[in-house]
């Protein structure tokens, strides 16, 4: 009988030791994770150099190209004016000008950009439109004007 008791006590010691090791492991993992979180929170993800990242302002203006219509094209009805937009960071907005006056502004545009112009509300004859494209840093690009003839 004493052997059984010794064996039972040894099994209980093993179970208790295993539980203690498990708790110690969980506590260690918690504090390692907490230290990693605090480090990332204070200093950013590993490999990021915030001094370089923050001190380099975006000075590159966006680019854009009006793909439709082509210069001196005759158009009528509901016409799609399309353009491709690109920027090294993000295109913030596009402004559409018709005959020198701003007619439409779109924030957070996608490329290709499309403006549906109802030419039936414009006078027949020659018109000039252009677009201005802005990025998040305030850089802007004025796309070369396009002259069209409206004939409804």
pLDDT of residue 55: 64
Alpha-carbon gap, residue 136 to 109, rounded angstroms = 12
pLDDT of residue 91: 92
Which has the minimum average pLDDT: 3-17, 38-52, 76-90, 135-149?
38-52
Contact between residue 131 and residue 97 where contact means Cβ atoms under 8 Å apart: yes
* Ranges of each domain in the chain: 2-55, 63-150
Going by C-alpha positions, the residue among 104, 132, 136, 133 that lies closest to residue 118 is: 104
Q: Per-residue pLDDT averaged across 49-54, rounded?
A: 53
Going by C-alpha positions, the residue among 70, 61, 63 that lies closest to residue 129 is: 70
Using one digit for the tens of pLDDT, what is the confidence trace for 21-44?
666 777 777 777 766 666 666 655
Which has the minimum average pLDDT: 49-53, 88-92, 115-119?
49-53
Q: Check: pTM over 0.75? Answer yes or no.
A: no
pLDDT surpassing 90 at residue 48: no
Domain 63-150, CATH number (from 2.60.40.10, 3.20.20.140, 2.60.120.260, 3.40.50.300): 2.60.40.10
pLDDT of residue 19: 72
The chain-wide mean pLDDT, for the chain, equals 83
Query: How sure is the predictor about 54, in pLDDT bands with cuts at 50, 70 and 90?
Result: low
């Amino acid at each position: 009988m004493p052997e059984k008791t010794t064996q039972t006590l040894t099994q209980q010691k093993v179970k208790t030791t295993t539980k203690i090791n498990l708790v110690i492991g969980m506590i260690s993992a918690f504090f390692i994770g907490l230290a990693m979180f605090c480090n990332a929170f204070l200093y950013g993800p590993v490999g990021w150099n915030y001094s370089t990242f923050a001190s380099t302002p975006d000075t590159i203006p966006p680019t854009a190209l009006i793909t439709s219509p082509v210069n001196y094209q005759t158009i009528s009805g509901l016409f799609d004016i399309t353009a491709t937009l690109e920027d090294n960071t993000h295109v913030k907005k596009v402004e559409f000008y018709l005959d020198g006056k701003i007619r439409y502004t779109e924030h957070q545009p996608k490329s290709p950009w499309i403006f549906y112009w109802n030419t039936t509300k414009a006078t027949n004859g020659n018109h000039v439109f252009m677009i201005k494209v802005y990025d998040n840093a305030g850089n802007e690009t004025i796309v070369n004007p396009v002259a069209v003839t409206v004939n409804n």
